[in-house]
Structure 1
Amino acid sequence: MSAGTGTDLSASTRDDLVGRLLEHCAQVCTTGDEGPIADTVVARYTELGEEVLRVGHSVVVDGRRGEPARPLVLLVGHLDVVPPTDADLEPRVESRDGAEVVVARGASDMKAGNVLAMAAFEDHDLREASPYDLALVLYAGEEGAADANELREVLAEVPWLRGAALAIVLEPTDGEVQLGCLGGLHAVLTFEGQQAHSARPWHGRNALTMAGEFLAELDRDHVRDVEVDGIAYRDVWSATQAWTPGLEPGPRPASSPVRNVVPGTFMVNVNFRFAPSRGVEQAEAELRERVDGRASVEVVDRSPEAPPRLSDPIVQAFVRRVDAPVAAKQAWTDVARFAEVGVPALNYGPGLTGQAHQRGEYVPVDALVAADVRLRAFLQAPA
């Protein structure tokens, strides 16, 4: 199969993409259970005669063509999805608001992107004509805890990936080219007072109300605009959890025996998402400065940022050839893993960000086709 770069793809190509997506979504692979789908991917590319490497439940398919070496482009996606619901367990084609969509768990996040990557990689005419060597990187563990994400392990165990000219992470981007990504910190703030009887609060100090001033500040000032390379990002501060250790009300708050206790300790989880104008260490110092000694601070999770790298020639080439809107990635993605090893990376995919993890998750077929055309426009263009 070889697709052109125009917008009028044949019905057979459209049907091929939809069929691929239905097949890919039929194998549900929640985080931690990617083994079977990894087996399927390995078997597919082994049968096609490709060189396949497996790291855990992640798969790398090496499409390099030897000498003369060409710039290497990685087509990157994660295999896992969040748990399905009864509204998206069965992959199917439906009509929504007059448009044809594929409904399935992972349809937008991010199996539609995986399908485009696989279809392009399997197009031998495209690979022969392309100025780039291609490799597929389909990895496990993206939707779970950061330490279980296998991409970092893949990049460590397959060292030639770190020499790539570009990594295209086909996460859902609403058809935009989304550059860079936010970094992130989760920190537990502990406000320490003195526990007391609620009838005689002067015998202690209420740790919960001690946190009030800080929380009010977050309510007033939790979004700040930051521009990096002419691209608008936003710093975001969010209090996402709060609790009084040992005094939780339980399932029936009205019957709790500890409602008359002034808490001596109150803990708040703060999630700071920061623009790629600075690194993790600077962001952590900024967080501690903002708390200003009012609570102890324990940073419990750190996610690195990724710069947009808009000035890189290959990123400029992608933006020019794809001819899609350019925006910031107002979230964290695995472009940050590539940034850690010095590989330029960007986010571009057909999925809808607003459909990620939704009940009845879907992707429009028109978006799938349009992204396929634009991705191929870059892969077929002169380097």
Structure 2
Amino acid sequence: MSTPIALPFDLSAGTVELTREICDEASVSGAEAHLVDRLVATLEGFDHLELIRHGNTLTARTNLGRAQRVIIAGHVDTVPINNNLPIRRELVDGIDHLIGRGTVDMKGGVAVQVALAAELTDPAVDITWMWYDNEEVSSDLNGLRLLAEARPDLFEGDFAILGEPTRAEIEGGCNGTVRIEVRTRGLRAHSARAWVGENAIHAAAPILEKLAAYQPAQIEVEGLVYREGLNAVGITGGIAGNVIPDECMVHINYRFAPNKSADEAIAHLTDLFGEWDITVVDRAEGARPGLDAPLAKRFLTALGVPALPKYGWTDVARFSALGIPAVNYGPGDPLRAHADDERVAVAEIEDCERGLRAWLSTSDLD
């Protein structure tokens, strides 16, 4: 079976149509190769861009000798499709929208970035554009992480922008996340003679009571208030309909403000659930807002939009860990991400395009 020819995207049609085209090129996590092939075909003729491909992560950068460099990144994968491709353009509550998988998370942002990468031949700062794969799945597959390990030189920069959906506002930093499994133990017995056993599912009741009664904190970090969350996200137990279970596991997710480390978050969970068996199954550091960096301040001033906290974890944390201040900025309401009726307002795509173009062209950045 022959490999489909990678045709370039039509940049002359504008970012809204480009969003539609990029979304219609399905790229569920692990199947991004052809979309990245098309991005290469789209940008390889532009002399001001140096293209570097690592797996299915594409970097395009200018090398103009500017005093400062900005990294602008976005992931090209989506969660699975559920009868929501091809993209539709419709009015929703009187507002023009693109509807379908990837419009919010985050191909609207990618389309803006690709269009500007081609257009901005003489920006005020050097720009490193990054489009990476496997963001929606396990961290060990994340293309940005793998690129940072293989080519740390590409991550030299003074400021980073991640095109995650923010309703065309600026969201600084992000919460961290820890997931744990909490287990209760019992003794198996026939359910007709339950009194000779110990029911591990019943023993999990105090864990659920703690979770139900827990009041998540709201913590101010550098002027932004991050809302934490502590929730059961799964529970398993039992082996058969006539057996008293000897084990139950409650899967818990803690979203913690970036004023604390993952180790401190785990210590907090240990204080809460330490009387039971705990296994840490996932951890990711948060990121402080990064809004005190000079380029970040100019970005806020130039766009004139609110600065808000990012409640979910995003790859700004990877930039933060490398010492690069980073913010989230892109079209789309994050509450619509992954939804079957995922949709982005056309005006937000256009706002982000105008905002980034104007800021990257401002003479006082360099």
- TM-score w.r.t. structure 2 length? 0.92
Offset at residue 77 of structure 1 (A): 0.5
Cα deviation 1:322-359 (Å, max 9, x = unaligned): 11111110101000111121111110101121221122
Q: How does 1:15-94 map to 2 (within 5 A)?
A: 16-49=14-47, 50-66=49-65, 69-86=66-83, 88-94=84-90
Mapped to 1, the partners of 2:223 and 2:194 lie a distance apart of: 53
Match of 1:323 in 2: 304
Q: Deviations 1:123-167 (Å, cap 9, x if unpaired)?
A: 23xx42x32111210000001112111111112222233221111
What stretches of structure 1 of length at least 5 have no aligned partner? Answer: 1-12, 248-257
CA distance, structure 2, for counterparts of residue 186 and residue 159 of structure 1: 28
Alignment counterpart, residue 232 of structure 1, candidates 225, 230, 233: 225
Does the Cα contact within 8 Å between 2:43 and 2:118 map onto a contact in 1? Answer: no
What is aligned with 1:196? Answer: 189
Residues 354/17 of structure 1: CA separation in 2 closer, same or farther (3 Å cut)? same
Say how many residue pairs are matched: 353
Q: CA deviation at 1:170?
A: 0.6
Question: What is the aligned counterpart of 1:177 among 170, 180, 185?
Answer: 170
SS in 1 for 2:131: strand
CA offsets 1:61-104 (integer angstroms, 9 cap, x no match) = 121213xx321111110011112222x21123222222221223
Which secondary structure state, in structure 1, belongs to the residue aligned with residue 228 of structure 2? strand
Match of 2:143 in 1: 150
* AA aligned opposite 2:187: Q
CA distance in 2: counterparts of 1:222 and 1:173, whole angstroms: 26
State the SS of the aligned residue for 1:47.
coil
After TM superposition, the runs of 4+ consecutive aligned structure 1 residues lying more than 6 A away are none
User: Which of the numbers 353, 356, 361 marks the counterpart of 1:372?
Assistant: 353
Measure how far apart 1:222 and its partner are: 4.7
Give yes or no for contact 2:135–2:142 (8 Å, CA) kept in 1: yes
Which AA in structure 2 matches 1:60?
A: T
Task: State the alpha-carbon separation in 1 of the partners of residues 352 and 253 from structure 2.
Answer: 33
Instruction: Verify: 1:131 aligned to 2:131, yes or no.
Output: no
**Counterpart Cα distance in 1 of 2:13 and 2:54:** 32
SS state at 1:160 partner:
helix
User: Once the 2 structures are TM-superposed, how far is the Cα of residue 47 of structure 1 from its aligned partner?
Assistant: 2.1
2:44 match: secondary structure: helix
Give a deviation string over 1:32-72, Cα, whole Å, max 9, x none: 00111111111222122332111111100121213xx3211
What is the letter of the counterpart of residue 91 of structure 1?
A: I
Counterparts of 2:143 and 2:340 in 1: how far apart (Å)? 26
- Counterpart mapping for 1:174-323 below 5 A: 174-245=167-238, 247=239, 258-293=240-275, 295-323=276-304
SS in structure 2 of the partner of residue 65 of structure 1 = coil
1:339 and 2:320 aligned: yes
Deviation string 1:281-306 (CA, Å, 9 cap, x unpaired) is 1111111111032x111111111211
Q: Normalization by structure 1: what TM-score?
A: 0.88
Unaligned runs of 5+ in 2: 1-10
Whole-Å separation in 2 of the counterparts to 1:137 and 1:340: 17
